[in-house]
Every structure is written in structure tokens, then in C-alpha cells.
Amino acid sequence: MAIDVDAAREELQRASDAADGEVQRHINSIDEGLMELAEGDKITEAEADPDRVAELEEKLAGLSAETDDQAIVSHIENVLDHLDAADEFGTS
């Protein structure tokens, strides 16, 4: 199965647009991590560094738990879906 990095980054941009302050900085940091993860639009799970993907998923799950803004939470859940991580964190 492929990880759609571009789609994940688009969702992160939507979350960033809805956020401000510290939350926005965290989102932008995660986006930089996704950018480093792959140069192309999609990568397979085998091509992705599993530790790096897990780290990004953990940061996203933590950020989702910290914010009360449902629009941001929804975008983060979509990012997790794109990273094929929704089942691990119980989001869908």
C-alpha cells in the first residue's frame, strides 16, 4: 500500500490554515518531517522509514489530543488516514 505524502501534506496545510500560535508551529514542523520522508508524491510503506513514520504519527496523535478545534482534529485524522495510521491510533 502506498503512503500518499502529497495528500497528507495538503491536509496538514488545511490544518495549519485553521490554526495559530503553537499549534500552527507544531503542524508546520510535522509538515517538514513529511517533506523529508519522501521526495515523490507517493511512497510504499516498504520505502518509508518505519521509525520516522511512527514518530510523525505519534506527533499527529498527540497534537490531535491537545487541540479542541474540531476542524484541526478532522484534518489531522485525514493525515493519519493518508499515512495509513488511523487504525493504530483509533481514529477514523
Q: Is 31 helix (H, G, I), strand (E, B) or coil?
A: helix
Interval 5-36: pLDDT, tens: 888 999 999 999 999 999 999 999 999 888 88
Alpha carbon distance 68, 72 (integer Å): 8
- Per-residue model confidence as pLDDT tens digits over 49-91: 778 888 999 999 999 999 999 999 999 999 998 886 433 433 3
- What cell numbers appear for 7 in the block? 495528500
Q: Inter-axis angle of helices 50-66 and 70-82, to 10 degrees?
A: 170
CB 86 within 8 A of CB 92: yes
Q: Which residues share a beta bridge with 43?
A: 3
Q: Residue 84, SS3? A: coil
Whether pTM > 0.75 for this model: the answer is yes
